[in-house]
Amino acid sequence: MLGVFDSGVGGLTVVREIQALLPSLSLSYIGDSVHAPYGSRSAEEIFRLSLAQSEFLLCEGCTALVIACNTATAAAASRLRAHFSPTPIIGMEPAVKPAAAATKSGVIGVCATVGTLQSARFAALLDRFAGDVTVLTRSCPGWVEAVEAGDFETPETLALLRHEIEPLLAAGADTLVLGCTHFPALRPQIQALVGPDITLIDTGAAVARRVAELVPETGDGVLSLATTGEVHAFSRAAQAILDLEQLPRVQRLHWKDGRLENA
């Protein structure tokens, strides 16, 4: 069984890609919605939250993990891999490399959280892959919260999208990186805003391919969902992201002394 965790519902955009590629793989998912968004938290706090979720999933029988959060990957992936070696741990990173290859204008926009944009991991990505392009960044406040609330098409959410994206387009960006796993949940709204000539890129499909390389496709395709937040809000957003006829029952978890427990 594969364990997947994120700061909330956003990692379900990655789960969606994994299920499309590996429909028989059983998955267990934790959305730490009570602490969302992670982008404004310290690296040490994010590591502690990620460590506890990893321990819970491994105790549940998971044999590999996906950190379905760019911010948590930047803050915690290397330490988690050292701590849980040799367990396969797959992380996320903003798709700077494919965006740099795709742009025709030579300008790309990266939409991500503050935690991701200020990380050493992101700086290293720019050094490696963005030497020949101009990279513009936006921290997109309010986007994660809108997805967590399931508010994909409200006037308030559309205004938030325009506020962050229009400056990127005005500066000549023809390729936008959705550098937070929450943001692909807003892809239809973003694409409608920018038009068909602007390319949107995220790394969900690439992570799914990496899972296929490292994790045997065993199980019966069962998806287990859990949240540390409010179950109804999580379920509403998860239903929209996964587009399932019937959503699995969502388990409630709670934090106690820095560890996760069943509620």
Give catalytic status of residue 62 as yes or no.
Answer: no
**What 3 state SS string does 55-79 have?**
HHHHHCCCCEEEECCHHHHHHHHHH
Length of the chain: 263
Query: How do beta strands 223-227 and 134-138 pair?
Result: unpaired
How far apart (Å, rounded) are the C-alpha atoms in residues 119 and 75? 8
Q: Which of 139, 124, 143, 227 is nearest to 184 (CA)?
A: 143
Phi, psi angle pair for 93, to nearest 5°: -155, 145
Contact 87, 112 (CB under 8 A): no
CA distances from 37 to 8, 115, 179, 216 (A): 8, 10, 14, 32
Q: Which of 182, 130, 140, 163 is nearest to 12 (CA)?
A: 182
How far apart (Å, rounded) are the C-alpha atoms in residues 197 and 143? 23
Question: Annotated catalytic residue: which of 62, 69, 111, 140?
Answer: 69
Tokens of 155: 């006037």
Give catalytic status of residue 180 as yes or no.
Answer: yes
Question: Annotated catalytic residue: which of 62, 111, 140, 180?
Answer: 180
Q: HSE (CB half, 13 Å, CA atoms) of 124?
A: 5
Q: HSE (CB half, 13 Å, CA atoms) of 142?
A: 13
Report the catalytic residues.
69, 180
